[in-house]
Each structure stands twice: as C-alpha cells, then as structure tokens.
Structure 1
Amino acid sequence: MTALTHTDLDRIRELKSRYARYADTKRWDEVAALFTKDAVMRFRDVDGNLVNEVPAAEFARTIGERVGAGQPVHHLFSHEVSFTSETTAEGVWAMEDLIFHDREAHPEAPFSRMHGFGHYHDSYRKTDGEWRISGSELTRLRMEITP
C-alpha cells in the first residue's frame, strides 16, 4: 500500500479544526500555540464594529477569562483557502459558536446562552515546516443572547 501524504491544505484544515477543539475543551495555552507569536485576533459585532483585539501573547489569559465557567461549542463549515506563496495563505471559514453558562452555579455570568453566526477570516504562515495562524478576524452575521 502506498503511504498517503497530507497536503498543505489538509494541514491548514487540521490546524483550524484543532483551534475549535482546543477552544471547546478550554485548552487555552494550546489554542495560543496554534498562532504565530505576532498574531492578533480581532472580534467584530454584527454591525462590523471592532469589539475586541487580542495579541497572541494574551490569548490564553484573555480568551479564557471571557469564556470563564461557560462551555463553548464551535462548528466550522465551508472554507475557502487561497495560497499567496509557498509559506502563506488566507482563508475564510463559515462558523457557528455557542457559549452556555449555568446561571445557578455562576450568577455573575453575563448570559445563560450566546449563539453566534459568522465567518473567521484567517491568515496563515508556514514556519519551520509547520502552519500557524498568523492573524484571525471573526465577523458576525447574527448574535442571539439569552439572559
């Protein structure tokens, strides 16, 4: 049997899948390790306004604090990935995310349920043979928040 190989596209898809799994299991340090050291993550609301910007060095602390005791759930759907060089690429991923809070156990939680829809707009860079996310911007189409 001939050995199968992963293409760069496969590796980028796996990178983004790990992002969702690590975020859902609150493995914040491992989420941060998926990004280049100079990466910035930006979050926009449904009107396109920038609501948060987090540099890579602050991912684990900042994103972990925002989720708190809540349980995140991410779904990634269709993707478009374009290679801009042998070591860089750009991608857009349709996404849906939910965060659930147990308000009885954590009455200070900002909501009991958040359900969002939108797109991740990512840039990728291959360094030392490994693909990393070098920037990410989450844009929102819709947000539903249950108090």
Structure 2
Amino acid sequence: MEQWELIARESIRDLVARYNANGDSGRFDQVMDLFAPDAIMRTPTQPDKYGIDEIRTIFTGAQDTLSEIGGGTPKYIRHHTATHQIDLHSPTEAKGRCYYHVIMEHGLDHWGRYIDRYGVVDGRWLFTERSVTMDGYIPDGWGAHNASRGQDY
C-alpha cells in the first residue's frame, strides 16, 4: 500500500465521522462543507438532490419532522457507522459503503446503508454522491414515522 492510499482512507473515514457528528448536532453548515458543490444525494423517498442548497433541505426537513413528532428537539440522536469499505480508484476518486444505525432516547430507531462516491476538491476529500437506504425501523419510531409519510430521515 502506498502512502497516498493510507492518507485517502483515513481522510474518507474522517469525512464520514464528521457527517454523522455534525448532522446529529444540527450543525448543517458544517455538514454542507463535506459535500462537493455539485454533489448528489439520493434518499429512499425524495427526488435526488443536486448541489449544496438542495442537499441542505434533507437535513432541515429532518429537523422539522423530529420537532413535529417529538414536540421539540430530541434529547439526542446518534448515527453510528460500521463495516466501512473504501475502494480507491485513484488519488482523487473513491467509492465506499457502510452500514448505519440510529440511536435515540428510546433506543435503536432505524438502520440502513450509505453508498458513497468521494472525490478530492481543493485538496480535500468530499462526498460527490451519497445514497442512503433504510433497511428497517422500529414501530412508532422516527424511521417508521418518515416511512409512513414518504419522507426521509
């Protein structure tokens, strides 16, 4: 393995961790900084979102839904990722996939997969494409609420 590969892998792992930590904390400007300007985000129930402004609506919409169903901001929401596989195609392009699960005050809420494309923009690894799946959810949880309303999480 070459040194650039080690740096790329660690940078991509950090990218995914920052996505979860910033999103869970409602720091959406910091989340948007993790996407390339022309990035695409795909979710199960909405049309594809192109570019930072459209992608941001996924997060603000989730925040609104959480407030609506929970009567305010939840005490916490934590996305956890596992089995992160990274396939490097070049020093500036990679693909990845990992499992996620979401923990809230009531426990496990929903789970699924992230399927990603990454690219280097201005010297930083960023998401160029992120596809989110939801493989399951608990009854009466946030994931179930969104699935029944055709919304994303």
Whole-Å Cα distance in 1 between the matches of residues 11 and 99 of structure 2? 18
Report deviation, 1:25.
0.2
Structure 2 residue 71 is matched with structure 1 residue 66: no
Report deviation, 1:61.
3.7
Counterpart of 2:134, as a letter, is: R
Counterpart of 1:126, as a letter, is: V
- SS of the residue 1:57 aligns to: helix
Specify the alignment match of 2:140 in structure 1.
146
Whole-Å Cα distance in 1 between the matches of residues 97 and 108 of structure 2? 22
Whole-Å Cα distance in 2 between the matches of residues 81 and 141 of structure 1? 21
Specify the alignment match of 1:120 in structure 2.
114
Q: Please give the residue correspondences for 1:54-93 in structure 2 after superposition, counting only pairs within 5 Å.
A: 54-55=49-50, 56-68=52-64, 69=67, 70-71=73-74, 72-93=77-98
Specify the alignment match of 2:24 in structure 1.
24
Counterpart of 2:88, as a letter, is: F
Aligned residues: CA RMSD: 2.2
Given the two structures, how large is their TM-score scaled by the length of structure 2?
0.72
Of Structure 1 and Structure 2, the greater helix share is in 2
Whole-Å Cα distance in 2 between the matches of residues 113 and 82 of structure 1? 32
Is the contact made by 2:22 and 2:28 (CA closer than 8 Å) also made in structure 1?
yes
Structure 2: runs of 5 or more not aligned = 1-5, 68-72, 142-153
Deviations 1:69-128 (A, max 9, x none): 34432111111000112100000011012466xxxxxxxxxxx99821111000000122
Structure 2 residue 33 is matched with structure 1 residue 33: yes
> Quick one: percent identity of the two aligned structures?
25
Specify the alignment match of 2:131 in structure 1.
137
Is the contact made by 1:97 and 1:117 (CA closer than 8 Å) also made in structure 2?
yes
Report deviation, 1:140.
2.0
Specify the alignment match of 2:151 in structure 1.
none
Q: Number of residue pairs matched?
A: 125
Counterpart of 1:40, as a letter, is: I
Structure 1: runs of 5 or more not aligned = 1-5, 45-50, 101-111
Whole-Å Cα distance in 1 between the matches of residues 132 and 116 of structure 2? 9
Q: Go from structure 1 to structure 2 and tell me whether the alpha carbon gap of 1:145 and 1:54 turns closer, same or farther (over 3 Å shift).
A: farther
